[in-house]
Amino acid sequence: MSKKVLNDIHNILKETFGYDSFRGDQEKIVQSIIEGQNTLVLMPTGGGKSICYQVPALYLEGTSIVISPLIALMKDQVDALRVNGVEAHFLNSTLSESQANEIFHKLMDGKIKLLYVSPERLFANDSYLIQQLKRIDISQIAIDEAHCISQWGHDFRPEYRKLSNLKRHFPTVPIAALTATADSRTREDIIKIIGLEKVFISSFNRENIHYQVQVKQNSRSLLLDYLKDKRGQSGIIYALSRKSVESISEYLNEHGFSSTAYHAGLSSDQRMIRQEEFIQDRIDIVVATIAFGMGIDKSNVRFVVHMDLPKNIEGYYQETGRAGRDGLPSDALLFFSRGDAVTLRGFIDQGHDINQNEVLHDKLNKMIAFGETRKCRRQYLLKYFDESHNGQCDNCDNCTRTFDVFDGTEIAQKALSAVYRLKESFGTNYVIDFLRGSKSQKIREEHTWIKTYGVGKDLSKALWQAYIRNLVEEDYLRIEGLKFPVLKLGTKATAVLFNKQKVSLVRVESILQTAKKSQDHLVVKHHDLMSALKDVRRGLATKENVPPYVIFSDKTLVELCHYLPTTENDLLRINGFGQIKLKRYGPQFLKVVKDYCTAQNLASNMDTNTKSVKMRSNSTRSAQAKAKKSASKTQLETLKLFQAGMSIPEIARERDLSNSSIQNHLAQLIYFGRVPLSALVIDEKIDPIKMAIQKTSGQGLAAAKAILGEAYTYAEIKAVLASL
């Protein structure tokens, strides 16, 4: 691609959308579409999929067609584009006949750059719309929520299968299929059905989301405790039934929260009003069935809570991905119960397609395993989407807690022996009832004569469930079967049963929860200014009849509070400000910031070259001086070995820790002033890493690594980040 084309697409990105640079694979995807290649794009929710087809739409001559199943998403996307000065429209069932005719006239006159349509509308009336589209210049076709095409996808929609005919109707038009959730089988199906040539799989790692699972006991009381420091924040709470949705919403309102219920039992007008209240920030929390949230582009959702177990990892990932789309720290909390799994299995068994039911049971089993894992939850999620992770994310409950381990050999031997003597033919609940000597009629008569019957009656059912989960995770046991999973002996079982190998288990009664670690992000210090900026944003949004986040995301407001820009040139360096938004909204926001700085006697935190924070105050330096003394015992042990000349892999082997853990120790030691940066990073690499960190501010290590390439390691990036 020529230098001119690259300059042009970067200018579109900055002037229209207000972004200084592309993220991850966005630039390569844009190039692929512009070059006419049929492209599959897998990118996490909030990763910037829309930019991948919107930039080519503005660069290429003609009209881009965007196929989406979601009316709410169409409206959000069109609102955002029109605020940015782009001629965009949608055709769906919400339009009157006269409104639809007006859009058709504009379309035929070549005045529309992006047209959003549903697959049903595209193929309605003997494909009348397709015949009309053949009369105009179509620059590209983008298929959003492309996982709906595949029968293996978690949200398969039969009408999407008709999209296989697109290449026959438009043989020379490039097609881009985009989705946030598709495992390998689903991806292969999409590629085959549509006929795609190029595949881009971005990292599924949402580094800004903290994943947490709690046992579903007294969940409403725990929910209140969780929400007590989140008043005024936007959040979504999912529940399985309409009755639960209504009662949880009432419960929250009784305790002083701003909440509304959303489910399919409401009229379409009621749903629309409640959704609009949430989008416009007039309601903080929506309690909903999974019918809510698809296609809503609200960027400032700070938390997503699942009161019940989701059906599959894809749905869970997509729903939790509605939090933190602006890149700021956000939470995902799941209340876990195996009882929910029984209910969901009943729903699955109501289906008439045996093959499809097996797929759904398999997906549910993997969702259960996520809830039960004691390992890094981020690693588990990413592995599901065929992405590797070192397993120490420092931003999920399992990575920020200490597990008290004890010698559980006797417990393990009892469990393994029971599975062995029951001939590996029964599920977890039966094995536990057998171990506890249950008198239930479910226990077969012949099993009551087995030697190990009742040997585990000293432990509760809940403890046995936890210990068996632990044994499964460590491969002493394994689970086989979809609809009726049974316990089998794992690869490590023989050594325990016959060679007396010791087994360490997690002491369930005393899980020690540590404080959630802070993330790298800008902290709002000027809360009064933030409030004033939100008021301006809300006023503009009301005037233009769009959601507040369409005007600017919270990330933009946070940067305004942090950097305190005082000129229009300063504003252009703030994330979200392009030439169009600078002209439309710049004066209003600039006045608020300048007035605040004058009233508080504050200077701008922008320098002449880049956004940067001014020199730290004496109090901050004092705090850092104290921090130098606060290295932990485990970090000091790593320091001792590092000073003795050992490499990171050698220290990791010596201490039986992961390389990533040792890297984190050394990064903290750099921050504490105990290790010089030059000990880990050569001089020539420091400036390029600083530039990449600066360019991807708030997007995490992976974004910086994507810019730097294979010549740079995560350890080096962590070290430089710590030094800053």
Q: Does residue 187 carry a pLDDT above 90?
A: no
The residue-averaged pLDDT of 175-179 equals: 92
**CATH fold for the domain made of 3-201:** Rossmann fold (3.40.50)
C-beta of residue 332 within 8 angstroms of C-beta of residue 371: no
The residue-averaged pLDDT of 446-460 equals: 89
**Residue-level pLDDT at 100:** 87
Of 152, 173, 148, nearest to 163 by C-alpha is 148
The residue-averaged pLDDT of 596-618 equals: 62
C-beta of residue 379 within 8 angstroms of C-beta of residue 325: no
CA distance to 386, 637, 641, 666, per residue, from 644 (Å): 38, 11, 5, 14
Least confident of 446-450, 491-495, 615-619: 615-619
**Residue-level pLDDT at 423:** 92
> Rounded distance, CA 340 to CA 13, Å?
45
The beta-strand segments (E) located in 452-542 are 477-480, 486-489, 504-506, 512-513
> Rounded distance, CA 274 to CA 719, Å?
47
Beta-strand pair 88-91/504-506 = unpaired
The beta-strand segments (E) located in 430-560 are 477-480, 486-489, 504-506, 512-513
Q: What Rg value do the Cα atoms of the chain yield, rounded?
A: 28
Look at 509 and 217; give whichever has higher pLDDT.
217
**Residue-level pLDDT at 303:** 95
Tokens coding 313: 């990892």
One-letter amino acid of 569 = N
C-beta of residue 465 within 8 angstroms of C-beta of residue 327: no
CA distance to 186, 242, 581, per residue, from 310 (Å): 19, 15, 39
Strand partners, 176: 39, 142
**Residue-level pLDDT at 532:** 92
Tokens coding 450: 């087995």
**Residue-level pLDDT at 481:** 78
Q: Does residue 608 carry a pLDDT above 60?
A: no
> Rounded distance, CA 242 to CA 240, Å?
7
Q: Does residue 88 carry a pLDDT above 90?
A: yes
> What is the residue whose two structure tokens read 């105050």?
617
Q: Does residue 334 carry a pLDDT above 60?
A: yes
Domain-wise residue ranges, the chain = 3-201, 209-402, 411-510, 527-600, 618-723
**Residue-level pLDDT at 137:** 93
Averaged pLDDT score across all residues of the chain: 84
Q: Does residue 112 carry a pLDDT above 50?
A: yes
**Residue-level pLDDT at 151:** 66
C-beta of residue 665 within 8 angstroms of C-beta of residue 638: yes
> What is the residue whose two structure tokens read 């093959």?
355
**Residue-level pLDDT at 154:** 62
**CATH fold for the domain made of 411-510:** Arc Repressor Mutant, subunit A (1.10.10)
**Residue-level pLDDT at 283:** 93
> Rounded distance, CA 572 to CA 18, Å?
8
CATH architecture for the domain at 527-600: Orthogonal Bundle (1.10)
CB-based burial, 325-362: b 16+ in 10 Å, e otherwise: bbbbbbbbbbbbbeebbeebbeebeeeeeeeebebbbe
The residue-averaged pLDDT of 532-552 equals: 89
Tokens coding 668: 């903290």
Of 261, 432, 259, nearest to 338 by C-alpha is 432
C-beta of residue 704 within 8 angstroms of C-beta of residue 717: yes
Same fold, 3-201 and 209-402: yes
Give the number of other CB atoms < 10 A from CB of residue 474.
17
Per residue in 472-500, pLDDT (tens digit) is 888 899 888 766 788 999 999 998 888 78
Q: Does residue 157 carry a pLDDT above 80?
A: no
The residue-averaged pLDDT of 410-415 equals: 92
Least confident of 185-199, 427-441, 525-539, 633-647: 633-647
> Rounded distance, CA 339 to CA 113, Å?
50
> Rounded distance, CA 301 to CA 103, Å?
33
The residue-averaged pLDDT of 663-689 equals: 80
In the CATH hierarchy, which top-level class contains the domain 209-402?
A: alpha beta
